[in-house]
Amino acid sequence: MTKLAWLLASIALAIAPHLARMPLWVGPLCLALGLWRLAIERDNRPLPQKWLLLLLAGAATAGIASHYHTLFGRDAGVALLVVMSFLKLMELKALRDTMVVLFLGYFLVITGFLYSQTIPTALYLLLVVLINTATMIGYNDVNDGLSVRPRLRLAGILLAQAVPLMLLLFVLFPRVGPLWGLPKDAFSAVTGLSDSMSPGTISQLIRSDAIAFRVKFDGPPPHRNLRYWRGPVLWDYDNGTWSTRQPRDRAPAQLLPLDKALSYTVTLEPHNRRWLFALDLPETLPPGSRAGRDLTILAQAPVQQRLRYSLSSATRYRFDVDPDAGEMERALRLPARGNPQARELAGRWRSTLKNPRAVVAQALGMFRNEAFVYTLNPPLTGPQAVDDFLFATRRGFCEHYAGALVFLMRAAGVPARVVTGYQGGELNPLGDYMIVRQSDAHAWAEVWLEKEGWVRIDPTAAVSPNRIESGIAAALPGAELPPALLQLDAAWLRRARLSWDLLNNNWNQWVLGYDQQRQTRFLSRFNRALASWQGMALAMVTGIAALLLGIASWMLWHTPRRGKDPVHAAYEKFCARLARRGIARATNEGPADFAARATRMRPDLAQQIGFITQRYIELRYGRRHSTRLPELRRAVRRFRP
C-alpha cells in the first residue's frame, strides 16, 4: 500500500504542472484512476481487465485527438503521456511495469521543461525527481529495510553524488543545433508586439509585466527619454488598423550618426516573430540578421529561443535624407474614404501653414493644449476611428495618438509612418543592466522632413510627458494601473524584485543560454584546445573517471559511524583490551560467562570487569537509564588491564 501510494504521489507530482494546459477532463480522469487503483489495492481486488483498459486508452486518445486536432506535436504528446502513465498504473503486475511508470515519471519531468525553465520550475521538478528516485529505491528494497526518511536520504545522497558528474557533462557536452524540425506548437503562448496595430493592441500588452528583453550597455545607458526601442514599422492604414507587409529585400536607408555610438547587448525573450529590437536607430546589425530601408531588423527565423545579440546605435542622426520616391508615395497613402473630419482639419493645416514642420508643431500643440487624456481604458471608437478619437472621445493610449498623428500628417501631405516598439526600461543597479518589459510597449510616429530625413515624433510625450520621463506607472492615474504594474512603490519590494531579476538574468545567461557560442567562449577561457570536440570529449572522459574515483573512495572511506551502537562500541573496546592481555572472548561466549572466565584468570581486575559487564548487560537488555552509558564509557576508558 505505501509503495503504491508513493508511486501515485510521484506521478501525480510529475503531471501536476501539466494539468493546467490539458483538456479539462484529464485531471479528473487521472484522479479517478488513481483512487480506483488505491481502492483495488486496499480491497485486494484483481486489476481491471485488459479490454477495459484498452477501451479507456482508446477513448482518452480520441478525446486528446479531438481537443488538439492532432496526436503529434508537443501538447498532444504530453497529454497522451499523462493519460498513459495513469493507465499504466492500472496494470502493474511485475516490477517491470512499475519501473516503466517510474521512467515515465522522469520523462514527464523533462516534458515540463519544454514549457518552463524558470528557477521555481527547476526546483519543483528537482523535488519530483527526488521523490521519484526514492520511490524507485522503495520498489527495489524488497524487504522494506528502509523507512521513509532513510529512503529519501539515500535518494538525496545518490542525486548529490550525481550532481558533480552532471555539471561536468553539462559544461562539456558539445552543443549542436537542432537535429530535425520541431513541431509547430513547440513555441506558443508568448506575448509580444504583433505586426499590426489597432486601438487596444498595445494597451492590452501593457498589462503584462513579462520581460521583453534585457540590455547590457557597454558604457552608461542613454537618458530615459532617449530609450526608444525600435520594433516593426507600420506603413499601411486600413479601417482603423495599421499594418505592414513583409518589407522587400532592400538595404537600409542611409544613416548619418550625429553622436557617439552606444554599444550594447540585447538578450531577447522568445516572441515567435522575426523582428529584433534595437535602440533607435541602429548603426550596425546583429550578425545573421538583415534590415529593410526603414530599419526594422529581422532575424533569419522567428525567435523561438532566448536570443543574445550585440549591436550599436546612435540616438541623434540624420536618416534617409534622400528618400526613395516609391517609399515617399507609400508614406502618404491613405484609403480613398473615411474620417472626413480629420482630413478636413489636415487640409486646413496644409493650406494655412507654410511648411511641414509647422504642421507637426500644430498637431502636437493640439494634443498638448486641448482636452486630450492619456488613459489605459479608452472608450470604444466606431468605424471612423480617427474622427471618433480626435473629435469625440479624446481619450486614448499611445496607439491612438500615434495612429491619429500619422493619419493627420499624411492627410496634410507630410510623409509619416507608425513605429512600434518599447519605450523606457528599468535599470537594475545590482546587475548593471536594463530590463524592458511588455508593459513598456509603445507606439510613436516618424515624419519625413526636408534635409532632416525621418524624425521621431512622439505624440504621447505631448499629451503625457510623464510617460516618457518616468514610465507608464507615473503617467496613468493609480486606479487605472493593472496589478502587474502596482509593485513599484515600496523600496524593499523593488529591491527584492530587482535581486530576483538579477538571479533570473544570470540563470538565463549562464544556464539556459549556455549554447554553442557561450560554451566555446567559456571553455576557451581555460584552454583553447578544450573548446574543440576532441578537447571536450577527452575532458569529459577524464573528468568522469576522476569524479567516479573520488566518489568511490569517499564511499569506501567515509563509513558512517553514527549507525554504530555506542553501547556495543564501548563493550568491544573493553573486550579488545582484554584480548591484548591474552583473554579473548570467544564468539559463542556470553558477556556473563566471559566476565566469569576473565575474573578467574585476572582476579585483580574482578571489580572493574564486574562493573563493566553489569552496566553493559543493563544497557543491552534492561531498561534505559540516561546515566548508565556515560558510566560504562568512563569505566571502559579507565580500564587498563
Which of residues 62 and 157 has its CB atom nearest to other proteins in the complex?
157
Segment contacting other proteins by CB under 8 A, of 163-171, 236-244, 317-325, 402-410 = 163-171
d(CA 168, CA 596): 61
What SS3 class is residue 356? helix
Stated as kind and residue range, the H or E segment containing 543 is helix 533-557
Strand residues in 424-484 grouped as ranges (E): 426-428, 433-437, 441-449, 453-457
Cα 378 from chain centroid? 33
Which of residues 132 and 384 has its CB atom nearest to other proteins in the complex?
132
Residue 553: other Cβ atoms inside 10 A: 10
Contacts of 468 (CB under 8 A, 6+ apart): 224, 225, 423, 424, 458, 460, 461
d(CA 461, CA 466): 7
What SS3 class is residue 434? strand
Annotated active-site residue 593? The verdict is no
Residue 291: other Cβ atoms inside 10 A: 22
d(CA 357, CA 365): 12
Q: How far is the CB of 532 from other proteins (least distance, A)?
A: 19
Which of residues 35 and 110 has its CB atom nearest to other proteins in the complex?
110
Q: Rule CB under 8 A: is residue 113 a binding residue for other proteins?
A: yes
Which of residues 310 and 553 has its CB atom nearest to other proteins in the complex?
553
Q: Which of 50, 348, 525, 564 binds other proteins (CB under 8 A)?
A: 564
Which of residues 81 and 226 has its CB atom nearest to other proteins in the complex?
81
Annotated active-site residue 67? The verdict is no
Q: How far is the CB of 164 from other proteins (least distance, A)?
A: 8
Segment contacting other proteins by CB under 8 A, of 7-15, 96-104, 195-203, 388-396 = 96-104
Q: Rule CB under 8 A: is residue 120 a binding residue for other proteins?
A: no
Q: How far is the CB of 244 from other proteins (least distance, A)?
A: 30
Q: Rule CB under 8 A: is residue 130 a binding residue for other proteins?
A: no
Task: Write phi, then psi, for 131 (nearest 5 degrees).
Answer: -70, -40
Q: Which of 1, 24, 123, 163 binds other proteins (CB under 8 A)?
A: 163
Task: Write phi, then psi, for 242 (nearest 5 degrees).
Answer: -95, 135
Answer for the pair 407, 342: CB distance below 8 angstroms, yes or no: yes
Per-residue H/E/C for 366-387: HHHHCCCEECCCCCCCCCCHHH
Q: Rule CB under 8 A: is residue 512 a binding residue for other proteins?
A: yes
d(CA 488, CA 484): 9
What SS3 class is residue 428? strand
Residues 235-294 binding other proteins (CB under 8 A) are none
Q: Under rule CB under 8 A, how many of the chain's residues touch other proteins?
A: 64
Segment contacting other proteins by CB under 8 A, of 37-45, 281-289, 510-518, 631-639 = 510-518
Which of residues 19 and 162 has its CB atom nearest to other proteins in the complex?
162
Answer for the pair 229, 422: CB distance below 8 angstroms, yes or no: yes
Q: Which of 141, 195, 209, 469 binds other proteins (CB under 8 A)?
A: 141
Integer-rounded Cα Rg, in Å, for the chain is: 36
Q: Which of 12, 36, 73, 107 binds other proteins (CB under 8 A)?
A: 107
Strand residues in 140-261 grouped as ranges (E): 196-197, 211-217, 228-234, 236-238, 241-243, 255-257
Q: Rule CB under 8 A: is residue 57 a binding residue for other proteins?
A: no
Which of residues 136 and 295 has its CB atom nearest to other proteins in the complex?
136
Which of residues 141 and 209 has its CB atom nearest to other proteins in the complex?
141
Which of residues 167 and 328 has its CB atom nearest to other proteins in the complex?
167
What secondary structure does DSSP assign to 96-108, as a single string? HHHHHHHHHHHHH
Segment contacting other proteins by CB under 8 A, of 325-333, 530-538, 546-554, 575-583 = 546-554
If you count DSSP H runs as helices and E runs as strands, how many of each does the chain have, helices first?
23, 20
Kindly name the residue from 387, 398, 400, 501 that is annotated as catalytic: 398
Kindly name the residue from 75, 280, 387, 458 that is annotated as catalytic: 458
Q: Rule CB under 8 A: is residue 533 a binding residue for other proteins?
A: no
Q: Rule CB under 8 A: is residue 485 a binding residue for other proteins?
A: no
**What are the Cα distances from residue 336, in Å, to 339, 343, 385, 618?**
10, 11, 15, 107
Segment contacting other proteins by CB under 8 A, of 7-15, 135-143, 206-214, 343-351 = 135-143
Q: Which of 19, 38, 47, 122 binds other proteins (CB under 8 A)?
A: 122
d(CA 52, CA 55): 5
Q: How far is the CB of 44 from other proteins (least distance, A)?
A: 22
Q: Rule CB under 8 A: is residue 53 a binding residue for other proteins?
A: no
What SS3 class is residue 41? helix
Q: How far is the CB of 107 from other proteins (least distance, A)?
A: 6
Site map (CB under 8 A) of other proteins, residues 566-585, x = contact = --x-----------------
Which of residues 115 and 611 has its CB atom nearest to other proteins in the complex?
115
Annotated active-site residue 558? The verdict is no
**What are the Cα distances from residue 152, in Å, to 122, 133, 554?**
19, 8, 20
Q: Rule CB under 8 A: is residue 455 a binding residue for other proteins?
A: no
Q: Which three cell numbers stand for residue 638?
A: 579507565
Report the b/e string of 471-485 with b at 16+ CB within 10 A. Answer: bbbebbeeeebbeeb
d(CA 542, CA 555): 20
Residues 286-315 binding other proteins (CB under 8 A) are 305
d(CA 346, CA 357): 13
Residues 331-390 binding other proteins (CB under 8 A) are none
Q: How far is the CB of 103 from other proteins (least distance, A)?
A: 5
Q: Rule CB under 8 A: is residue 589 a binding residue for other proteins?
A: no
Kindly name the residue from 294, 387, 442, 501 that is annotated as catalytic: 442
What SS3 class is residue 359? helix
Which of residues 454 and 594 has its CB atom nearest to other proteins in the complex?
594
Q: Which of 38, 159, 473, 596 binds other proteins (CB under 8 A)?
A: 159
Segment contacting other proteins by CB under 8 A, of 43-51, 425-433, 496-504, 549-557 = 549-557
Q: Rule CB under 8 A: is residue 72 a binding residue for other proteins?
A: no
Helix 2-19 and helix 119-140, axial crossing angle in degrees, nearest 10? 160
Sign of CA dihedral 375, 377, 382, 383: positive
Which of residues 56 and 551 has its CB atom nearest to other proteins in the complex?
551
Catalytic residues: 398, 442, 458
By CB under 8 A, name the binding residues for other proteins: 95-96, 99-100, 103, 106-107, 109-110, 113-114, 117, 121-122, 125, 129, 133, 136-137, 139-143, 145-146, 154, 158-159, 161-166, 169-170, 173, 175-180, 182, 186, 305, 511-515, 544, 548, 551-552, 555-556, 559-561, 563-564, 568
